Chain A
Amino acid sequence: MLEALSAPWPWYVAGPLLGLIVPLLLLVGGKAFGISSSLRHMCAATPTPDSWKPAFLRYDWKGSGLWNLAFVVGIALGALLAVSLLGVPDAGQSISAATRADLAALGIQDFSGLVPAELFSWDRLLSPAGFVVVVVGGFLVGFGARWAGGCTSGHAISGIANLQLPSLIAVLGFFAGGLLVTFGLLPILLG
């Protein structure tokens, strides 16, 4: 029975289920689907003196953001539940052969699990590649999402679904940046 639920779920199952979160959040809580705001709420909730915080982080995060923090805790718990019941998906095995070949040419050898161990492990964190991928990558995700006013959920899904031109421009930016890294930076970084 669990066999049928094992990864990878095909796109035509996962995509529609993912899209349903938009009306679900609106109907149950009156909330617009968006995840990156949780990062701002976490900064705002950091117990430092108010004078240390820029104005953008001084607001009633409990009033406006508690739901979002509960939501991201739920995302982590759901992921924990999934890997506990069904195991960690070997995404590196289910990607296309062409991608595996390209990544192998860049020096990736471990295709087990969700992320390549060559880049995502504690002992690689201070190697140049591991640091850029995890720390610089994380920094840009946080900085860029707030500057753009949303991430994949808020712009690519809710924004475009609500027919917002700014969101479409943001998504084009996401792709421009992603292609720049994939074809410009990664070959230098991993080569």
Chain B
Amino acid sequence: MTTTEKTTNWTALLAFVLMGAYLGVIFVQSEVVSWFRIQEMFRFQSFHMYGIIGSAVAVATLSIQILKRTGLETLAGDPIELSPKAWGDSRIPAARYWMGGTLFGMGWALLGACPGPIFALIGAGVGVLVVGLLAALLGTWTYSVLRSRLPH
């Protein structure tokens, strides 16, 4: 074992737990964690989900522009950086984004939950989502094995 100077910063971790909890409350109370709401969205039968995602994107876009233009720093005094999403090297344009995206969308419509809501549903007491989480981990592991053979 090599000795490292790095120790776990518990205060920072607690801050992330609290920010996650903030999100968890919103996820449940806005019902975006609900399979019913996801069905309603994919059937274009209510503005609810589109309004939530749309206004979240609007607020996030505006916030990022403000952060970039004011040059604000993180609490720790580091510059704020957002690394751009890279184009892959496959000859099929944007292969990973639309192929992976389509498979993800199929999973989203079946399970009625993307990763954040999986954790929220477990917290909300929908126990069988533990199996959904294990399946998602298996999916992640399988991707990791096949990664070099998939177009990106």
User: Which A residues fall within an 8 A CB radius of B?
Assistant: 5-33, 35-36, 38-40, 42-43, 53-54, 56-57, 62-63, 66-68, 70-83, 86, 88-89, 91-92, 94-96, 98-99, 102-103, 111, 113-116, 119-122, 125, 132-153, 155-164, 166-167, 169-182, 185-186
- Residue of B33, B123, B136, B137 near A77 (CB, 8 A) is B123
Docked Cα-Cα span, A7 to B140, in Å, equals 33
Interface centre among B59, B107, B129 (most CB of A within 10 A): B107
Instruction: Say what secondary structure dominates the interface of chain B.
Output: helix
Q: Give chain A nearest CB distance to B29 CB in angstroms.
A: 5
Given A40-B140, A99-B40, 15 more pairs with CB closer than 8 A: A15-B56, A35-B115, A67-B13, A74-B18, A83-B124, A99-B43, A133-B111, A136-B107, A141-B114, A141-B115, A158-B82, A169-B101, A180-B105, A181-B105, A181-B110
Minimum CB distance partner of A130 in chain B: B128
B81 pairs with A30, CB closer than 8 A = yes
B63 pairs with A99, CB closer than 8 A = no
A11 pairs with B55, CB closer than 8 A = yes
- A to B contact number (C-beta, < 8 Å): 522
Docked Cα-Cα span, A169 to B47, in Å, equals 22
Number of contacting residues on B, CB 8 A?
119
Interface residues of B in 28-61 (CB under 8 A from A): 28-43, 45-61
Instruction: Say what secondary structure dominates the interface of chain A.
Output: helix
- Residue of A7, A74, A163, A185 near B61 (CB, 8 A) is A163
Contact A140/B104 with A36-B115, A116-B36, A120-B128 known, Cβ cut-off 8 Å: yes
